[in-house]
Amino acid sequence: MGKILYAQGAYPQALNFYYKADKLFRKLNDRLFLAQNLNNIGQTYNSVRLKEPPLPVFDEALHIFKELNNTSGIAQTYHLVGQFYEKRHAYDTALLYQQRALNTYQKIADSNGIAAVYANMGAAYEHKRLYYKAFHYLNSALILNKMTGNISAEVGILNNIGDTYRKTGKLKEALATTMQAKQMAVRSKNKRQQFSTSDDLAETYKLMGNTDSAYFYSQAANELYHQVFQEESGRQINLLHTLYEVERKDSEINRLKLDKQLTLITTGAIVVILLLLIMLGYTINSRQRLKARNDKTIFETQRNYMEVELKNRQLQEEKLNEELNVKSKELTSHTLHIIQKNQLLEELKRNLTAIIRNDKRDQRKELKQVVTQINVNHNQDKNWNDFRVVFENVHTSFFTNLKKHAENLTPADLRLLALLKMNLDSADIATMIGISQDSLRTSKYRLRQKLQIPEGEQLHSFIQQF
């Protein structure tokens, strides 16, 4: 019962049954089961991080295992003590106990135990920032888990390797490794691991500057987190309800036994009690059947509702993705149109200027007027309002957040910031707003002052935060 409750995350209830077992094992003087149960108690303390440390429990378990010369139990205890120190950030002490566990597991060639120790040592070295050692132990654990077919452990280790790659700045390797872990988690239908890998993918894409992918996986992680929370809460509630029913029935059975003993006092009372028990049993059985039918109907209704709700959410997400793609294409097309228009105007301007320099003075006045008109058209950029509408559909709240950060931004500043947000190169930006690249550099410098960007931070990186 304690192990079942522990597996479902009901740690206080698990401890209750573990302590009941502890009393019985001590009464029976069953030393092996007592030591194993002590490790279960210590492991539960580790999981909930209670103020009371589990070390005395582990010390007693280790003492018993050594008396019994139980190598597997000794190794397991060392491993659990190492996990205790790791969770309290005492990584050197944690590694000491994990090394003891590793040496003991190697004596009995326990591949599963060795793999688990390798994984914990890799995590500890990762926290100590000794990444080359972390890679060594994590890869060793990965090889052993592949051999034993432990998919769940393999996914967790791949995710840790991806974290280590990310911390060492190897973002491409981190992305590939975490994506592999994500795919395995999806195939094994492990939503908790899907959440963890999606969260790490979001962090990796964020470091790579790919905000769209980072946002996508962040949203996916958030959705998976809520699903895991709801499912685990439901399982715990069902388990606790079942536990309550079992205890209630045990109490009922004990009461019936007492009643039955009392009915032995007289023959007449025995007949009456038997009839009552038959009726009570029939009533309980009928109610249980009715309850089972009702529970089944409720479960089916809830499941159908959740399936419909999930489909609706998927359709909404697909629709939003399609709308975003259309708006992105529309923004790109609009931008290219403005660039082509300004390039054409620039070319006309150069040609007309060349004609003005010709000796045909009778044409100069008219040609100057044409050049003036082109300059006006070039600088005013009539398409800015249309461009801004399309841009704000794709990058919502961009201008609003910028104005909150710096209230003195002019329309020209906002236009330049929008073009920088789209990752256009300097030549295209200069063409679109009709200025030289020297003037563009001056404008960028003024923007840095208005935005109060710290020295050393790039303007482009700063803008991508909004």
Q: With cut-offs at 50, 70 and 90, classify the pLDDT of residue 380.
A: very low
Question: CA dist 410 to 365, 378, 397, 406, 417, Å?
Answer: 35, 19, 17, 10, 11
Q: What is the pLDDT of residues 120-142, one digit of tens each?
A: 999 999 999 999 999 999 999 99
**Range among 9-13, 15-19, 310-314 rated most confident:** 15-19
Q: Return mean pLDDT, the chain.
A: 83
Q: What is the pLDDT of residues 381-410, one digit of tens each?
A: 456 777 777 788 888 888 888 888 888 888
- Over pLDDT 70: what percentage of the chain? 85
Higher pLDDT, 7 or 358: 7
pLDDT the model gives residue 26: 94
Q: With cut-offs at 50, 70 and 90, classify the pLDDT of residue 17.
A: very high
Q: What is the pLDDT of residues 88-99, one digit of tens each?
A: 899 999 999 999
What is the total residue count of the chain?
Answer: 466
Hey, what long-range contacts does 372-380 have (CB within 8 A, 24 or more apart)?
Answer: 374/345, 374/348, 374/349, 375/349, 377/345, 378/342, 378/345, 378/346, 378/349, 378/434, 379/434
Q: How many CB atoms lie within 10 A of CB 146?
A: 14
Higher pLDDT, 4 or 253: 4
Mean pLDDT, range 141-156, rounded to an integer = 88
Cα–Cα distance measured from residue 118 to residue 98, given in angstroms and rounded to the nearest whole number: 8
Residue 432 · residue 339 · CB < 8 Å: yes
Q: What is the DSSP string of 226-278?
A: HHHHHHHHHHHHHHHHHHHHHHHHHHHHHHHHHHHHHHTT-HHHHHHHHHHHH
Cβ-based burial of 456 (10 A; exposed 0-12, middle 13-18, buried ≥19): exposed
Residue 138 · residue 118 · CB < 8 Å: yes
Q: Copy the structure tokens of residue 264.
A: 């032995």
Higher pLDDT, 193 or 247: 193
Q: What is the pLDDT of residues 293-345, one digit of tens each?
A: 877 778 787 887 788 788 778 777 776 666 665 556 455 646 655 655 666 67
pLDDT the model gives residue 425: 85
DSSP type of residue 106: H
> Whole-angstrom distance between the N-terminal and C-terminal Cα of the chain?
52
Q: How many CB atoms lie within 10 A of CB 265?
A: 9
Query: Which domains are assigned to the chain?
Result: 2-237 (1.25.40.10), 333-463 (no CATH)
* pTM of the predicted model as reported, rounded to 2 decimal places: 0.50
pLDDT the model gives residue 33: 96
Going by C-beta distance under 8 Å and a sequence separation of 6 or more, which residues neighbour residue 75?
101, 104, 105, 108, 110, 113
Residue whose structure tokens are 């006092």: 265
Cα–Cα distance measured from residue 160 to residue 120, given in angstroms and rounded to the nearest whole number: 10
Lowest mean pLDDT among 20-29, 63-72, 261-270: 261-270
Q: With cut-offs at 50, 70 and 90, classify the pLDDT of residue 27.
A: very high
pLDDT the model gives residue 143: 92
Q: What is the pLDDT of residues 216-237, one digit of tens each?
A: 988 988 888 888 777 767 766 7
Residue 180 · residue 196 · CB < 8 Å: no
Mean pLDDT, range 358-368, rounded to an integer = 64
Cα–Cα distance measured from residue 270 to residue 265, given in angstroms and rounded to the nearest whole number: 8
